[in-house]
Amino acid sequence: MNLAVFASGNGSNFTAIAKAVRAKRIRVKSFVLICDQPKAFVIKRAQKAKIPVILVRRQDFANRADFEAAIIQRLKYYQINVIALAGFMRMLSPSFIRLYRNRILNIHPSLLPAFIGGTAIKDAWEAHVSVTGVTIHFVDEEMDHGPVILQGKVAIKKKDSLAALEKRVHILEHQLYPRAIKLFAEGKIKVKNGKVLLKDQEN
C-alpha cells in the first residue's frame, strides 16, 4: 500500500498514523504528506519524521480542477493508492472522489450522521447530548458522508468543559484512525451495497 495523508493544520492525526507506520503496525511502501497550507504545523511534524512533504497551494492555480490535477500528478508520481484525510480543509470534487472511489478515508469527530461540519465537538457539547464520538468513513460526494468503517463512543460528562471533551475525542481519534488504515492495508475492508464489511463479517 502507498499512502498519502492530506492535512491542512496541526496534524496530530498525521502523527498518530506516522507512528503506526514507523512501528510497522501499518505496512506501507510509500508514505507522503499532501498539504495546502505552507504555515501548517503538520509540515514540521512530517519533516521531523522524515516523511516527504508535498505542498500544493490552492492560490497557485486558477481553479479547483487545476489544483486537483496538480495533486493527482504528484499522487501518481508516488504511486499512491490510498488517501487518508486528516484535517484537510477542502472539499474534494466528485471527479477526484470517483478516481479514488473507496480509497479515500476521512476522520470526523462525531458519531455520523450526527453533527456534520467543522465544529462537531463543540456542537455536541452545546447540544448537551450524553454521547458523541469518532467516525472513520470512506469519502463520497457529500460532506461528512460515506460508508462507515469504524466508530467509537465518547461519553459527555455533565461537568465537562469543551477542552476536556476535545481532549478525549482526540485521544480516541489517534487510536481509531491507524486501526482503520491498518484494516484497509491488510485487505480486511470491503464495500458492498454502500456499506463496509470487515473481513470477519462477510459471512
Residue of 108, 137, 170, 174 marked catalytic: 108
6, 93, 129, 135, 201 from 115: Cα distances, Å? 22, 22, 11, 11, 28
**Is 110 within 8 Å of 201 (Cβ atoms)?**
no
Task: Name the grid cell of 127.
Answer: 447540544
List Cβ neighbours of 147 (8 Å cut-off, separation of 6 or more). Answer: 102, 137, 138, 140, 191, 194, 195, 196
- Please indicate whether residue 108 is annotated as part of the active site: yes
Give me the torsion for CA of 53, 135, 118, 37, rounded to 10°: 0
Residues carrying an active site annotation: 108
